[in-house]
Amino acid sequence: MIWLNQIINGVLLGGYYALIACGLSLMFGVMNIINLAHGDLAVLGAFLVWLICEHTGISPFIAFIAVLPTMAALGWVLQRAILDRSLRSGILVPILSTFGLAIVIENLLFSQFGADSRSLASVMGSLSYDSWALTSQIYIGKLAVLIFAVAVLLLLGLHVFLKRTALGRAIRATSEDPDTAELVGINARAVYATSAAIAVSTVAIAGLFLGMRASFAPYAGPAQLIFAFEAVVIGGSGSLWGTLVGGIVLGIAQNIGAQINPNWFLLAGHLTFLAVLIGRIFLRELLAHGMIPALLGQRS
């Protein structure tokens, strides 16, 4: 029973990871940018929601309606003003510029809000800790289920958007090859800016739930980044459904690890991540060169 509880909690935790990882996956998939400011953008989103709630006393969900377009606009500006320029200078510069951006966001938040930790939980009644008790050992948190459902809906929505709409097709085409896409009349810069806007909007959703589930402070961003990153890699970079699978695999691995030994929570997650990474490289070698060279690590 305890194991079942661990697995259920692991799956739900995976939903949260998928939610934070979604924007990261999108930016990497479309623009090939590894956004190191991802966690900090989530914290920024959480702060914006908190700011509105604190001043008006309204529900964080309603406050979020105002924050979403702000964050989307921010994503758009970010792409136009910073990332576009850095993309022209090779692969390292975009990473460095998001690194710089992360530092700027952290310190702006610190100078505005100070070091205090905040949470949205205090303005949403008991939702942050309500649960359904299935048996005396299995409890399912209502917020965790909500987060999982939002993650699935968001990924489903993005999937349909990318597959079925003209803009979605343009994004996919640009991600394959921006130059060729431009030849057939797609404005790659506009597509990039739109993708960034969408990605940062999803980060805002992640920030909303970060604020409800945990607490946040100006320097809390980087801690969010690592799990998002692992979920993306486990699920296969650039694949949206893969991100959900990756998040769930990570969540289950961590919770089962913790049940065996409390110290193995992070370790089990990291090992799973490493195993998938090595497995994937090995598999690629295997497919390309056959069994023996792959085992020996030789390239023919």
Partner 1 sequence: MPKNDVTKAPRGSRGGLSRRDFVKKAGIGASGLALSGSFPALAQAAPADTLRVGFVSPLTGPLGGFGQGDPYILSIARKKLAHGIVIHGKRYAVKIISKDTESDPTRASQLAKELINRDKVDLMLSTSTPEVVNPVADACEAAGMPSLSTTVPWESFYFGRGAKPGKPSPFKWSYLFSFGVEQFAQAYISMWNGPVKTNKRVGFLLPNDADGNAIREHMVPLIEKAGFTTIDAGPYEDGTTDYSAQIAKFKAEKCEIFNTFPIPPDFAVFWRQAAQQGYTRMVKIAQIAKTGLFPSQVEVLGSLGYNLATGAYWTPTFPYKSSLTGLTSPKLTANYEKATGHQWNQQVGMSLALLDGGFAALKQSSNPKSKAAVAKALSTLKDTTIIGPIDFTKGPVPNCYPTPIIGSQWVKAKPGSKYKLDLVVTDNADDRHVPVAAKLKPYNA
CB-nearer residue toward partner 1: 145 or 190: 145
Instruction: State the Cα–Cα distance between residues 234 and 247, nearest whole angstrom.
Output: 8
CB of 50 to partner 1, least distance (A): 10
CB-nearer residue toward partner 1: 89 or 117: 117
CB-nearer residue toward partner 1: 64 or 216: 216
Of 201, 191, 113, nearest to 154 (Cα)? Answer: 201
CB-nearer residue toward partner 1: 195 or 254: 254
Instruction: State the Cα–Cα distance between residues 151 and 255, nearest whole angstrom.
Output: 19
Report helix, strand and coil shares of the chain as percent, to nearest 5: 80, 5, 20
CB-nearer residue toward partner 1: 215 or 239: 215
266 close to 251: Cβ distance less than 8 angstroms: no
Tokens encoding 85: 């320029």
Of 248, 257, 256, 246, nearest to 280 (Cα)? Answer: 246
CB under 8 Å to 299, separation ≥6 — which residues? Answer: 285, 289, 293
CB of 9 to partner 1, least distance (A): 4
CB of 287 to partner 1, least distance (A): 35
CB-nearer residue toward partner 1: 29 or 118: 118
CB-nearer residue toward partner 1: 233 or 250: 250
User: What does the binding site for partner 1 look like in residue numbers (CB under 8 A)?
Assistant: 2, 5-6, 9-10, 13, 16, 36, 99, 102-104, 106-108, 110-112, 114-119, 121-123, 126, 128-131, 133, 137, 139, 141, 143-144, 213-217, 219-223, 227, 251, 254-255, 258-259, 261-263, 265-267
CB of 100 to partner 1, least distance (A): 9
- Beta strands 139-141 and 131-133 are antiparallel
CB of 21 to partner 1, least distance (A): 13
CB of 155 to partner 1, least distance (A): 20
243 close to 232: Cβ distance less than 8 angstroms: yes
CB-nearer residue toward partner 1: 37 or 188: 37
Instruction: State the Cα–Cα distance between residues 57 and 117, nearest whole angstrom.
Output: 18
CB of 223 to partner 1, least distance (A): 6
147 close to 209: Cβ distance less than 8 angstroms: yes
Distance of CA 259 to the CA centre of its chain: 26
CB under 8 Å to 97, separation ≥6 — which residues? Answer: 82, 83, 86
159 close to 95: Cβ distance less than 8 angstroms: no
Instruction: State the Cα–Cα distance between residues 53 and 49, nearest whole angstrom.
Output: 6
CB of 2 to partner 1, least distance (A): 5
